[in-house]
Structure 1
Amino acid sequence: MKIEGRIFHFVAGFCFIMTVVYGVCTGLWATDGIEPVGLVALLLTGGLCLIAGTYLSFVARRVTKRPEDNDDAEVSDGAGELGFFSPGSYWPVTLAFAAAMGGLAMALWYTWTIVLAAVLLLISVGGFVFEYYLRPNKE
């Protein structure tokens, strides 16, 4: 995870440098002065990358070394179980549909569709999260 943290820190530094360059260039060559939207967008992008990189750097200190972090690792070092992935779940499809419907509804600003998409999104997230939840056995 150290590598991922470094990549995010590099991108954050690049975004901050480009923020300064963008501000100077638009201040010198634009007729209306410094363009604020692009400046803020670059600044916030750099900030978000810095947050992600800092998180990954802190987590990298606490977890054991992964095969990806070892320079002398073999392909077989990463073999084994990676986790549980649902083989036949339809909830990701419903979640994607609800999110797309919500985005389209907000773009067109149909209030009734926004409400419908929000309800569908909540149902889809609930179904996705609790798909394999089993109630405890009653004694």
Structure 2
Amino acid sequence: MKAEAVLFAGVAGFFLLTGAGYAWWSGREPAGTAALTVSFLMAALMSFFFTMNYRRRGSRPEDRKEGRVAERAGPLDFFPPHSAYPALTALGIAVLALGVVFGLWLFLVATGVLAAGVMGMVFQFNDRA
């Protein structure tokens, strides 16, 4: 993350110099000066974030030339099997769009179908430890 910190520090320096020059030569025009000041602050914040992460965690495997992919790879997680809830959610969205065209009654029915599909996807594997 050290390279990213240096990159964003350079961007922040560019916006600082550009903003100061713009404020000087534009006769204190507020919109451009404010935009360049905010750009400087955002780039400085990113540089600070990357610097702090580098100090806390050190270099990453991708920062070293001898780093390997296996050093960064973590454990594989749970991949769900087939489910009917994505199709139910898609049907709910399609009927909801038709409900906008054809009437409130169809829109309300589709809202129920969509809610059932979304809740099914969210809570389908809730009991998994």
> What is the number of equivalent residue pairs in this alignment?
87
Structure number with greater Rg is 2
What 5-or-longer segments of structure 2 have no aligned partner? 80-85, 87-113
Distance verdict in 2 for CA 1:13–1:132, change over 3 Å: farther
Matched residue of 1:56: which SS?
helix
What 5-or-longer segments of structure 1 have no aligned partner? 28-33, 91-122
Distance verdict in 2 for CA 1:132–1:24, change over 3 Å: farther
Distance verdict in 2 for CA 1:63–1:131, change over 3 Å: farther
Matched residue of 1:21: which SS?
helix
Q: State the 4+ residue runs in structure 1 displaced beyond 2 angstroms.
A: 67-70, 77-84, 130-134
RMSD value over aligned CA atoms? 3.3
Q: Which residue of 1 aligns with 2:30?
A: 36
Is 1:135 the counterpart of 2:126 in the alignment? yes
Aligned residue identity for 2:60: R
Q: Which of 47, 52, 56 is residue 53 of structure 1 equivalent to?
A: 47
Is 1:62 the counterpart of 2:56 in the alignment? yes
Please list the CA deviations of residues 26-58 of structure 1 after superposition, one character each: whole Å capped at 9, or x if unmatched. 12xxxxxx2211100000000011111101100
Q: Which residue of 2 aligns with 1:11?
A: 11
Alignment of 1:101-120 (within 5 A): none
Please list the CA deviations of residues 57-88 of structure 1 after superposition, one character each: whole Å capped at 9, or x if unmatched. 00111224223333xx14xx33233787x9xx
Matched residue of 2:26: which SS?
helix
What TM-score results when the alignment is normalised by the length of structure 2?
0.54
Distance verdict in 2 for CA 1:9–1:132, change over 3 Å: farther
